Amino acid sequence: METKTVIITTVNAAWTAPNSIFDIFLEGFRIGNQTQALLNHLVVVALDQNAYSRCLELHPYCFALSTEGVDFSGTANFMSEDYLKMMWRRIDFLHAVLEMGYSFIFTDVDILWFRDPFQQLYLDADFQIACDHFNFNSTNLNNSPNGGFVYVRSNNMTIQLYNFWYKSKETYPWTHDQDVLNKIKFDPFINQIGLKIRFLDTAYFGGFCEPSKDLNVVCTMHANCCTNLDSKIHDLQMMIDDWKRYMTVPANHTKPQPWTMPRYCG
């Protein structure tokens, strides 16, 4: 973008198989309210060759990120060794993006974008992150962060954060990157570098853990609190169907509010 900001997601072969999550993810942009143009700023980072080939069939901006000695093509079960390697490889890559001077929104591929989220981001924060559960105070460190949706401005403070975050995997071995963030957010180092953190309201950035209750304001919805791939696909499709019904109601009529999902992820 003009602000040198890029939207980034990561995929592997399991997530990019036909009729899998990647197809649903892209459809969300196409049916969202003025979100299709954001695809022009989306870079899909493929973690294996099959995912890269499949990405090129569907999207113009694909980047092959190989990791020597690791095969990320399969369905990595939550908290398995391959899953943890995949998550930490992502943190390392995003650190490199910041060092190149690019700000970014990172979005998991199991998130649907229904409205432009930039309208709901804070102007005074270096690092903004979605929540599994939001306590109605965007500066309260006791919020439960979810690394599936993060907006990060490229500056010296965020570069230091990602370096500290990645190195902290040695301090907390066999721990998810999100859980490590939940620990280091209280570390005095964060204050020392002057990093400003904000947590995003689930009213706008919701998910299965805590759904946005108002379709009139929702920006993104995440299939979080759900670890089974088939369950995610089923309930994300239900979410798309809910949104399509919502969009067919004329603007001068009262629009339906509730989601019918999650069903398999409940």
139-169 pLDDT tens trace: 999 999 999 999 999 999 999 999 999 999 9
**What's at 259, amino acid-wise?**
W
Could you report the per-residue pLDDT of 5-17, keeping only the tens digit for each? 999 999 999 999 9
Domains of the chain and CATH, by start: 5-248 (3.90.550.10)
Quick check: bond before 262 cis, omega within 30?
Answer: yes
Residue 176 burial (10 A CB sphere; 0-12, 13-18, 19+): middle
pLDDT of residue 257: 65
**Lowest-pLDDT choice from 3-12, 82-91, 160-169, 205-214:** 82-91
Q: Max alpha carbon distance in the chain (Å)?
A: 57
Distance of CA 100 to the CA centre of its chain: 21
State pTM to two decimals: 0.93
Could you report the per-residue pLDDT of 169-201, keeping only the tens digit for each? 999 987 889 899 999 999 999 999 999 999 999
Could you report the per-residue pLDDT of 24-43, keeping only the tens digit for each? 999 999 999 999 999 999 99
Instruction: Give the three-state DSSP class for 218.
Output: coil
